[in-house]
């Protein structure tokens, strides 16, 4: 059986105690033609008049899509800030473009979503009524639905799945995915990745610090013998090597923190582009302080043993070491 748009609206109405807004979504392939130019990376989607409210998008110029646009299959669209600036010089409202061979009139411009306007980015997008898009592309691919109370998200999902099962009489023809489940899955995957990377970093830090200090003690055995023969006490030699280990680890920690901030900026750009959502990836101050403290602590801890070995060397043996 085929689920028509009216059927989905009926399901939402029948479960209005759980479900609120709904927007059919028709994703369209192909390029957008603007005059003699062609934009191949612009994402084109057919949506309802409620889609902007569902996603929390604002219109900076003109107007958004309206119910009359959907019901009358109007050939209108709302474009992202990138198209408005790159192709129309900020004056796109009232201009026309072509999608799938159909000419559409621009009635509004979305508020800029990302910090930079770039081709293929979050702001390189176009939205038109789903009724118009379905006539061009042929079918509705999915539905976006909101719940009235996020505290009853599980019950809302169950109600929707039950209604769809009653309609199709099978659960092989649909999939219901909640954003919270996607977030939990992503968080779980990120936590596993963080754990693996933290383990690798810890092993590298421990092994690297110990090797550096052992090599440092070995290569400077004659120096240690000279200092001890001139009256240097064991605690002075221990302090020398422990401080050296702490400084080395602290320097490595600072470099790691700087690299972490740089990679976070890259991750923000990648995640924003892939998910088409504004998401900032940034380490917290507490995590930075903890990472730096662990780095210095491991340096001091594993620098102590080589330092103790250096302080215990016999001056005569140290002077004869080659």
d(CA 189, CA 299): 30
Is the pLDDT assigned to residue 88 strictly greater than 80? yes
7-16, 124-133, 243-252: which has the minimum mean pLDDT?
243-252
The first and second tokens of residue 289, run together, are: 């302080």
pLDDT in tens, 136-145: 876 788 899 9
d(CA 45, CA 71): 17
pTM: 0.60
Is the pLDDT assigned to residue 322 strictly greater than 70? no
What is the mean pLDDT of the segment spanning 45-70? 92
Q: Which pLDDT score, from 0 to 100, does residue 276 have?
A: 58
Strands 125-129 and 76-79: antiparallel
The first and second tokens of residue 263, run together, are: 């990679």
Does residue 130 contact residue 24 with C-beta atoms inside 8 Å?
yes
Is the pLDDT assigned to residue 65 strictly greater than 80? yes
What is the mean pLDDT of the segment spanning 3-24? 91
Does residue 7 contact residue 152 with C-beta atoms inside 8 Å?
no
pLDDT in tens, 198-224: 788 778 777 777 777 777 777 777 777
Strands 43-47 and 59-62: unpaired
d(CA 43, CA 27): 8
pLDDT in tens, 180-196: 777 778 778 888 888 88
Q: Which pLDDT score, from 0 to 100, does residue 215 have?
A: 76
Instruction: Tell me the pLDDT of the chain averaged across its residues.
Output: 84
């Amino acid at each position: 059986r085929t689920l028509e748009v009216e059927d989905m609206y009926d399901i939402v109405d029948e479960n209005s105690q759980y479900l609120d807004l709904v927007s059919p979504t028709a994703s369209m392939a192909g390029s957008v033609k603007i005059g003699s130019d062609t934009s191949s990376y612009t994402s084109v989607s057919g949506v309802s008049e409620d889609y902007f409210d569902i996603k929390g998008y604002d219109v900076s110029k003109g107007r958004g899509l309206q119910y009359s646009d959907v019901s009358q299959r109007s050939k209108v669209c709302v474009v992202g800030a990138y198209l408005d600036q790159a192709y129309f010089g900020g004056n796109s409202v009232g201009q026309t473009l072509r999608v799938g061979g159909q000419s559409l009139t621009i009635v509004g411009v979305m508020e800029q979503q990302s910090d930079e306007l770039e081709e293929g980015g979050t702001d390189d997008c176009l939205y038109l009524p789903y009724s118009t898009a379905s006539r061009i592309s042929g079918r509705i691919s999915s539905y976006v639905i909101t719940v009235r109370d996020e505290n009853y998200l599980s019950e809302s999902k169950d109600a929707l799945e039950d209604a769809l099962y009653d309609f199709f009489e099978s659960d092989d023809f649909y999939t219901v995915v909640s954003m919270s489940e996607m977030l939990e899955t992503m968080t779980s995957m990120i936590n596993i990745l963080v754990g693996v990377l933290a383990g690798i970093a810890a092993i590298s830090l421990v092994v690297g610090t110990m090797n550096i200090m052992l090599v440092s003690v070995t290569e400077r055995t004659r120096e240690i013998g000279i200092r001890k023969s001139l009256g240097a006490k064991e605690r002075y030699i221990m302090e020398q090597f422990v401080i050296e280990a702490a400084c080395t680890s602290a320097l490595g920690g600072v470099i790691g923190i700087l690299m972490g901030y740089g990679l976070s900026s890259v991750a923000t750009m990648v995640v924003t582009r892939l998910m088409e959502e504004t998401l900032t990836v940034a380490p917290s101050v507490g995590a930075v302080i903890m990472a730096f403290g662990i780095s210095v602590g491991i340096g001091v801890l594993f620098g102590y043993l080589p330092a103790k070995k250096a302080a215990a060397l016999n001056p005569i043996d140290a002077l004869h070491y080659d």
